[in-house]
Amino acid sequence: MKHLCEHPIALTELLQGSDHQSGAGLLFTGTVRNHHAGRAVRGMSYTAHHALAEAALETICRDAETRFDIVSCRIIHRLGELQLGDISVAILVHSAHREAAYEASRWAIETLKQKVPIWKQEHYVDGADVYLDGTTLDQAL
């Protein structure tokens, strides 16, 4: 798996490898929060359609590199059981100029949320487990 991982996301590894072409780096991380819509959260599960999610994430990275004036886009999404403060997704963009990095990073996370077959189930402190309502794929019937 290139974009999906079952273990904690290693930011240090992701950030390694200096890139002499690029002048700007932008790392977005999504983290499990301790509250959602007023309810206290104790953890989160992420599941995926592995083949489709890998392909969709790869497409987002390559599209980002085409649409924006960036050098590279990498995305890692974690699956499995996450604790509070754990990182669920990391998006790293490198570019020569910072404007493009901000635009590409923002586009990548928005697109990920709309296109990638991954599901989040929140576990509340009160014991309830709730799948959050998501975004319907364009291909839905």
Partner 1 sequence: MKLLLAPYGPLIPVLGTAPVCVDTPARNATELLDWLHAQYPGLAPWRQRIACAVGDTLLSADATLAEGAEVALIPPVSGG
Distance CA 80, CA 6 (A): 6
76 binds partner 1 (CB under 8 A): no
By C-alpha distance, which of 20, 17, 9, 79 is closest to 44?
Answer: 79
- Quote the CA–CA distance of 79 and 45 in Å, as a whole number: 7
Q: Which of residues 77-106 bind partner 1 (CB under 8 A)?
A: 77, 88-89
Cβ distance to partner 1 smaller for residue 70 or 116: 116
Residue written as token pair 């604790």: 83
Q: Considering only 5-13, 61-69, 99-107, 113-121, which stretch makes contact with partner 1 by CB under 8 A?
A: 113-121
> CB neighbours of 4 closer than 8 A, spacing ≥ 6?
48, 50, 53, 54, 57, 76, 77, 78, 79
Q: How far is the CB of 47 from partner 1 (least distance, A)?
A: 6
Q: Does residue 133 interact with partner 1 by CB under 8 A?
A: yes
Total residues in contact with partner 1, by rule CB under 8 A: 33
Question: Which residues from 31-60 bind partner 1, rule CB under 8 A?
Answer: 46-49, 51-53, 55
Q: Residue 27, interface with a copy of itself (CB under 8 A)?
A: yes
113, 53, 115, 102: which is closest to 73 by C-alpha?
Answer: 102
How far apart CA 54 and CA 75 sit, in angstroms, is 10
Q: Applying CB under 8 A, which residues contact partner 1? A: 30, 46-49, 51-53, 55, 77, 88-89, 109, 112-121, 131-137, 139-141
Residues that bind a copy of itself (CB under 8 A): 11-12, 15, 18-35, 84-87, 96, 98, 101-102, 105-106, 109
